[in-house]
Structure 1
Amino acid sequence: MTIGTLPASAAPLDEWSSVAETFEPTDFHAAPYLGNGHLGTVLPPSGGGYFDYGPGVHTSFPLEQSRYTGTYLAGFYARQPGSWNNTQVIAALPAWSGFALDVAGHTYRPDVDPATVRNYRQTMDFRSATVTTELTWSPDADHDVELRYDTFVSRSRPDLAVARLTLTPGCSGELAVTDSLDTTAARRVTPIARETDPVDGRSTVGVRADGTADTAFLVSTLDAPDDSRRVPVEEGLRLNTDVAAGQSYSFTKYVGIAATPDGPDPRELATSASEQGHENGFEQLHAEHVAEWDRLWKPSIEIPGRADYRRWIHTALYSVLASVRAGQRWSVQPAGLSSDDYGGLTYWDAETWIYPTLLALYPDLARTIVDFRAAALDQAKANARAYGLPGALYPWDDGPAQRCASPAVCGLVEEHLQNEIALAHWQYYLATGDEQWLRTAGAPVIMAIADYLTARIGPKLPDGRYHYAPVGGADEYVATSIDNALTNGGVMHTMRTASEAAATVGAPVDPRWADIAAHMAMPGDIAPGVPAEYLGYTGAPIKQADTVLLSYPFDYATQGYSPEATMRYYFDRTDPDGPNMSNAVGAILSSGLDPCRTQGFLDASVVPYAQEPYGLHSEARGERSGANAVGGSARVFVTGAAEFLQGLLYGPTGLRWTEAGPRLDPLLPTGFPDGMTVRGLAVRDSRLTVRIERRSTTVSLTAGDAVAVDTPVGPKTVTAQAPVQLPTRSC
């Protein structure tokens, strides 16, 4: 593993933006992603509208359809019999961002001939979450037009998206701009309304999610030159405009987007958002939007002297933040709101790979993940009852409903998820100290999961141990097994956590929880100090991190267990072509067990996956995420972006959440000779800055009350007047 650097062919580094200078309309990697945590959209290289990349470029499991530039709303799902678990799949909305331009019988749209485009430059500004596309379009020898598209999805107004087209023609005459709401982009919905009002400059489209009564509406209100002649057309509103050579003309669309999960009248919500946006205007809306993103950027991970890492950090954090929103009871999917990869369903990605990054820097955003599971507790209990069991059973993959369709996709598939949900809820309490939340939300989930697992595992066998069979583990190269090490080790942790949570809130403690924690079976060692992945495992390659997770995020420890030997054994057998869900854990584990490997793991968690031109994380190094992968790998893989950040946050700092407060044990990776700083580390209602330098680390209080931290040199208290100095470990 080597220290990561940008490819030699990449444009000069800018920490906050990425630029494409070649117009490649058929390259799906050249499509920027905009999101505000409620609404997400991917723009084509042309600047706006809808582009289908065709059957040669597939989305991931379970849909495996042609990739396209889609728009999605959090919580807006279809009921589709063809889906993996026969319940829900995210619905795609009509494309809202399109401005078609007609000049002298030629049309500029996403599939425009690249030979007619020059001076091309598309900029994804991550700091302001804005995409700017500039080019000169020359459809024939007698005509050319300079085009500029400025597009953003408002962070300050979650139901509003804005696009502005500014054009400067090279000759005088008439041209036409069409504000398009393109229903050909929609998936898994049925159109129910399309109206155009040329007097108010408004277009409306409505759709219903298949198999449901849920509807969504898109309402566009247009700002255009006063002398434009408005003509309703099938795709929206066409504006015929007389133009003079060298003069600039602007067309701005304010698109309100809302669905049934947002309120009982989504059409009214979308119309109001569009009208208010139009009244406020582009400049005010963009300023509000940028101000909200500036607030989000206050927490930071800073690495002086490493422009490549700083850029990777910004692009990764952007894709995570673009996919989650405070106060919204909806979780984060592997691809966020960028696509229908993985059907937009919720997996362990949320709790295990995305949540820890949010918990460290944005606990208000992290809460959306645990609150989503808490809100679904009644359904999870119904899932368990359907199998004749008590407690709560969450499905391996489903949408907002969190229904179990069958044992094949719920009770027998990757039940380690139950332990990771319980862990996330306990970690939220440890990090925030919110006992009221624990009483009303966290503890009920943890205890219900423990009740399910108690019944699922069953009584002790004659060997005096509890066994788990059959079970699907995290290694997806093995369908089912007996006594999967991660699952069984996680059960021990869940049982201990359930006892602690119940005692904390004054609830009854089931004595069986402690007995299971003490007598849960583990498979025998396959090497000294290394538990086999499952009973009968013989050392085959594994798809992604599995048994190593016993040491992190869990804290498994028993006589004879060697975390270091386990780490070395399993990372040597992890498929490098599997999904980007392993290397950051390697960085976290090695920071305490084998520090000289930490930098290599950090590099490996980002270098193969940050895809140019925008540096957004893909799921795999190639087109498939593992030997048994079905469909393509996820194109914007929020899981991998958050995992990379998790490695930086929990590896070098040694951060762990404990009952005694956050534990810190800093290490300076070899590739960061000028040190690194984490600003805005959230502990309860306070914020810390952790500055790691060669010989010592300074922990400072930047907001809130004093914070108790657990350190290798004993407990310390960080106050505004007295920062804490800790020794920095090195390789």
Structure 2
Amino acid sequence: MSLITAPLLTGTLIAAVVPPSSAPVSTAAAAAQTVPVPACGKDAAGWSLTSTRPDPTVGQHPYIANGYLGHRVPALGTGYQGSDEPSGWPLYTPRYDGAFAAGLYAHNSRTDADRQAVAALPTWTGLEAGLGPGTLSHYRQTLFMACGVIRTSYTWTGKDGRATDLSYEVLADRSDVHTGAVRLRLTPRWDGDATVTDRIDGRGARRVTAAGVSASGRTTTVSFRADGTRTPGTVASTLVTGTGVHATTDQRSASGLSAAHALTFPVRSGTTYEIAKHIGIDSTPERASGASRRAAARGWQTVHGANAAAWAKLWASGITVPGQPDLQAWVRSAQYGLFTNSRAGSADSLAPTGLTSDNYAGEIFWDAETWMFPGLLATSPELAKSVVDYRYRTRAAAAVNAEKLGFKGLFFPWTSGSKGDNWAECHSWNPPHCIMQTHLQGDISLAVWQYYLATGDGKWLKERGWPLLKGIADYWTSRVTANDDRSYSIKLVAGPDEYSNGVTDGVYTNAVAATALRNAAHAATLLDTEAPARWTEIADRLRIPYDTKAGVFEQYAGYKGSLIKQADTVLLLYPLDWKMTKAQASRTLAYYAQRTDPAGPAMTDSVHAVASASIGSPGCATYTYLQRAIRPYVRGDFDLFSEAKGDKAGADDALAGHPAMDFLTGKGGFLQTFTHGLTGMRLQEDGVRLDPMLPPQLPRGVTLHGLRWQGRTYSVAIGPKTTRVTLTQGAPFTLHTPQGDRRLTTTIELPTRRPDLTATGNTARCRPATATSEQPGLYAAAAVDGDPATTWSPESTAKTATLTVDLGPGARDKAKITPDWETRPTSFTATQNGRYVHLTVHGPAVLRELEVSRGA
């Protein structure tokens, strides 16, 4: 019999765990495993994610967060769990189920020059039933995304044969963000004494130093200071017992960053006992203990209800994909990831894995502005605001950075922490991305402008947006180099493609710089402020490399078609909406999609999907890219998002390895395939541009509700033929559509674009396709989507594989079958059996397109 082994913790129940399938399951227990009890009123498919087997992989454990506090929850529902699983650059430390607070950074001696990394708190979910070693059965762990609650339940049978039913629920209170709560419901199948321990566990702490422990009544506090920054903090826990819990002993212990409060009480078989702990986390013991006691006074039910109500307001916006259970769950998981890691009123931005881990040292990258911000902004501008307000908060350091580098204006670090100091916080010096990934300045400026377009908040634009727009525009004027032909270049840059460093005139860098200069000039007009004429002059004369022979934008001056790590030039298509013809856009997308490293990071295909939707070439490549943007990266029962398909995010990146998880960058990109791809939504000052389209693989359509623009709320229901746009709150506004401007007062209908219905000679085009083998991202549907830049390829281990295409009931035999190979197999056979076409390959193969023409 195989065992799942978990660490042995003193005084707790964690020991060798028998897989639940090995234990006999009663009828009631079996029913409980398949029918989850609603935690917050939403029990429909796609609202909860469940595991029925403890997952030993720490990186795939679920988490709760409220935008200020975050905690990865172990498989057994409580406490701390470490591992030997390595994490990646720049820390390279083992993964663990950690607890984090937004904006809490420390210096880290493990990194070069002792640069900043996010600090980890003592873990605070520990509420341990001291049952000793035993076996586990009837296991179920559920993440209720509707209210941010994780419930873990199982039966623990000790070596003495005594069985105990345990149920843990954990939340980070969205209605009171400095608090969290844990509830344990314990049902013994025996009489005797039980001991439950409230534990604040210092083993989960990273980069903090103990600053004292105190206890008063049922409240325990553990204080600390972050290393280097000396930022103070305290974790406080107040223990609350339910009816029937009468403690006979009450013991406390403490050491360093750990503290425990144990209660022993008599129990009777079949009786359920409830114990809860309420957490407060803040900068001082007084504030933390006050928050903890405040929550304890409210009690679990009130706290749970208020948290659920706060979550319900967030979920007033969402995306529904009828008939697509996997896709629906992935969409909700993506929204959950962004919601949990952001909050209104914050000036802390979103790290690539948010408050779920210390991957990427918990620092802030362009990921926030380019990949997470737009999806949040579409539905929750009050949450998205934290991304741009973080840059406003760190602008003083940005001014110092620019001055030290010899430039004007503002220069934000490629990776930043508490203040935005390029030399104390940025980790990327080999190669020196800290100074060469300068497109970040344009990314920030674009996000600032997008926030203004989304909200119309002129006061914010004047007080916070303008200092950023102006400072970044001033930076670009000092960063460019004048050429003899009166054009301008930007030299020594690294574009988003991190395989290309020290190049001249990176096309995305130059385009986003020009966009920043133009937006700043326009903002000056709105604010009745005179903008330097040089801003527009430089914007109009910046070189935008273009390969006239290939008919595509050139990634940088002298680019020769080498492998690229991730989306770069295609960012001109989206989010920049750079002016070009559809033919240029189509060629540029195809050219760079084929040159992108298949092992590159997860967000690239989301941009491909949005760009494909906008171009609308005949076929259904948008769906292929959409699938490629999510399917290869989903991990575990809780639909976490991996940064990479395999073990590295970039085959040629020496620093890559041990991908980040939960990769919110990828989740944010995936959401944009819906918010900006299928809808065609683009924000404008005087309205919203919509150009909806739908791939045939989503026959029941897609609905986005709770979309926001300048105080209005509206929904977009994309159907196979028409799209209904409904104003649900606020004043009428203008929709800009390909058919002309429309005034949205109640509901209007727009035609849904269907590129798959464009007639071609290929009867296999966009028909259902399956394969006996396919590599991640190289799916069967790619063989019939009409786009030669997407491909189907079997797994490398498959000696033989068959692609099957369903031509439909009206198909006849004698069709001509023509494969377009990128890599021709050793041999292949192509046959037709009525409505089905079968292509069987022997040996390695990469198929661009399968063309089936009508027979005689």
Deviation at 1:397, TM superposition (A): 0.3
Among 64, 77, 80, the alignment partner of 1:50 is: 80
Deviation at 1:123, TM superposition (A): 0.8
Q: Which amino acid aligns with 2:252?
A: P
| Structure 1 pair 560–696 and aligned structure 2 pair: CA distance change class (3 A) | closer
Map 1:380-391 → 2, pairs under 5 A: 380-391=398-409
| Structure 1 pair 85–316 and aligned structure 2 pair: CA distance change class (3 A) | farther
Deviation at 1:724, TM superposition (A): 2.3
Does residue 32 in structure 1 map to residue 51 in structure 2?
no
Does residue 18 in structure 1 map to residue 18 in structure 2?
no
Secondary structure at the counterpart of residue 488 of structure 2? coil
Secondary structure at the counterpart of residue 715 of structure 1? strand
| Structure 1 pair 649–558 and aligned structure 2 pair: CA distance change class (3 A) | closer
Deviation at 1:147, TM superposition (A): 1.0
1:421 matched residue in structure 2:
444
Deviation at 1:545, TM superposition (A): 0.5
Bigger shift: 708-717 or 223-232?
223-232
**TM-score, normalised on structure 1?**
0.93
Does residue 194 in structure 1 map to residue 213 in structure 2?
yes
2:627 matched residue in structure 1:
603
Does residue 531 in structure 1 map to residue 557 in structure 2?
no
1:642 matched residue in structure 2:
668
| Structure 1 pair 559–163 and aligned structure 2 pair: CA distance change class (3 A) | closer
- Structure scoring higher RCO (CA < 8 A, sep ≥ 6) equals 1
Deviation at 1:127, TM superposition (A): 0.7
Does residue 203 in structure 1 map to residue 231 in structure 2?
no
* Equivalent-residue separation in structure 2 for 1:526 and 1:453 (angstroms): 27
Does residue 463 in structure 1 map to residue 482 in structure 2?
no
Task: Give ranges in structure 2 of 5+ residues lacking alignment.
Answer: 1-20, 22-32, 36-43, 756-856
Does residue 230 in structure 1 map to residue 250 in structure 2?
yes
Q: Which amino acid aligns with 2:48?
A: S
Deviation at 1:308, TM superposition (A): 1.8
On the 8 A contact 1:676/1:692 being kept in 2, the answer is yes
Deviation at 1:464, TM superposition (A): 2.7
| Structure 1 pair 295–90 and aligned structure 2 pair: CA distance change class (3 A) | same
* Equivalent-residue separation in structure 1 for 2:435 and 2:401 (angstroms): 13
On the 8 A contact 2:649/2:657 being kept in 1, the answer is no
Among 117, 122, 147, the alignment partner of 1:128 is: 147
* Equivalent-residue separation in structure 2 for 1:561 and 1:594 (angstroms): 11
* Equivalent-residue separation in structure 2 for 1:728 and 1:477 (angstroms): 39
1:214 matched residue in structure 2:
231
* Equivalent-residue separation in structure 2 for 1:196 and 1:226 (angstroms): 20
On the 8 A contact 1:430/1:657 being kept in 2, the answer is yes
Deviation at 1:81, TM superposition (A): 4.8
Map 1:500-519 → 2, pairs under 5 A: 500-519=522-541
Bigger shift: 460-469 or 289-298?
460-469
* Equivalent-residue separation in structure 1 for 2:162 and 2:657 (angstroms): 43
Does residue 165 in structure 1 map to residue 184 in structure 2?
yes
Deviation at 1:214, TM superposition (A): 1.1
* Equivalent-residue separation in structure 2 for 1:11 and 1:521 (angstroms): 60
| Structure 1 pair 391–30 and aligned structure 2 pair: CA distance change class (3 A) | closer
What do the CA deviations read for 1:75-117 (whole angstroms, capped 9, x no partner)? 11112354467542110000100122223xx25xxxxx7xx11
| Structure 1 pair 501–672 and aligned structure 2 pair: CA distance change class (3 A) | same
Deviation at 1:434, TM superposition (A): 1.3
**TM-score, normalised on structure 2?**
0.79
* Equivalent-residue separation in structure 2 for 1:649 and 1:527 (angstroms): 35
On the 8 A contact 2:492/2:501 being kept in 1, the answer is no
Deviation at 1:527, TM superposition (A): 5.1
Q: Which amino acid aligns with 1:158?
A: V
On the 8 A contact 2:59/2:95 being kept in 1, the answer is no
* Equivalent-residue separation in structure 2 for 1:560 and 1:687 (angstroms): 31
Instruction: Percent identity, please.
Output: 36
2:803 matched residue in structure 1:
none
2:422 matched residue in structure 1:
404
On the 8 A contact 2:512/2:576 being kept in 1, the answer is yes
Among 723, 741, 749, the alignment partner of 1:697 is: 723
| Structure 1 pair 168–630 and aligned structure 2 pair: CA distance change class (3 A) | same
On the 8 A contact 1:526/1:532 being kept in 2, the answer is no
What do the CA deviations read for 1:481-514 (whole angstroms, capped 9, x no partner)? 1111110111121121121111111222111111
* Equivalent-residue separation in structure 2 for 1:308 and 1:724 (angstroms): 30
Bigger shift: 154-163 or 491-500?
491-500
Among 282, 298, 310, the alignment partner of 1:258 is: 282
2:590 matched residue in structure 1:
568
On the 8 A contact 1:29/1:613 being kept in 2, the answer is no
Among 330, 339, 342, the alignment partner of 2:357 is: 339
On the 8 A contact 1:30/1:44 being kept in 2, the answer is no
1:492 matched residue in structure 2:
514
2:799 matched residue in structure 1:
none
Does residue 479 in structure 1 map to residue 501 in structure 2?
yes
Aligned length: 700
Q: Which amino acid aligns with 2:363?
A: L
Bigger shift: 559-568 or 298-307?
559-568
What do the CA deviations read for 1:502-534 (whole angstroms, capped 9, x no partner)? 111122211111111121113341752212212
Map 1:436-451 → 2, pairs under 5 A: 436-451=459-474
The structure having more radius of gyration, on CA atoms, is 2
* Equivalent-residue separation in structure 1 for 2:358 and 2:602 (angstroms): 18
On the 8 A contact 1:20/1:30 being kept in 2, the answer is no
1:156 matched residue in structure 2:
175
* Equivalent-residue separation in structure 2 for 1:430 and 1:84 (angstroms): 40
Deviation at 1:674, TM superposition (A): 1.1
| Structure 1 pair 273–563 and aligned structure 2 pair: CA distance change class (3 A) | same
Q: Which amino acid aligns with 1:718?
A: L
Bigger shift: 317-326 or 407-416?
407-416
Deviation at 1:141, TM superposition (A): 3.9
Secondary structure at the counterpart of residue 309 of structure 2? helix
Among 569, 572, 581, the alignment partner of 1:547 is: 569
1:556 matched residue in structure 2:
578
* Equivalent-residue separation in structure 2 for 1:243 and 1:659 (angstroms): 66
1:4 matched residue in structure 2:
none
Deviation at 1:28, TM superposition (A): 1.9
On the 8 A contact 1:530/1:561 being kept in 2, the answer is no
CA-based RMSD: 2.0
* Equivalent-residue separation in structure 2 for 1:360 and 1:136 (angstroms): 44
What do the CA deviations read for 1:284-324 (whole angstroms, capped 9, x no partner)? 11011001101110011112221222211111100110000
Among 385, 390, 395, the alignment partner of 1:367 is: 385
On the 8 A contact 1:625/1:633 being kept in 2, the answer is yes
Q: Which amino acid aligns with 1:501?
A: A
Deviation at 1:623, TM superposition (A): 2.5
On the 8 A contact 1:196/1:237 being kept in 2, the answer is no
Q: Which amino acid aligns with 2:86?
A: H
* Equivalent-residue separation in structure 2 for 1:730 and 1:428 (angstroms): 31
Q: Which amino acid aligns with 1:604?
A: R
* Equivalent-residue separation in structure 1 for 2:383 and 2:188 (angstroms): 45
Task: Give ranges in structure 1 of 5+ residues lacking alignment.
Answer: 1-8, 108-112, 260-265
2:321 matched residue in structure 1:
303
Deviation at 1:475, TM superposition (A): 0.7
* Equivalent-residue separation in structure 2 for 1:591 and 1:389 (angstroms): 39
On the 8 A contact 2:107/2:228 being kept in 1, the answer is yes
Secondary structure at the counterpart of residue 310 of structure 2? helix
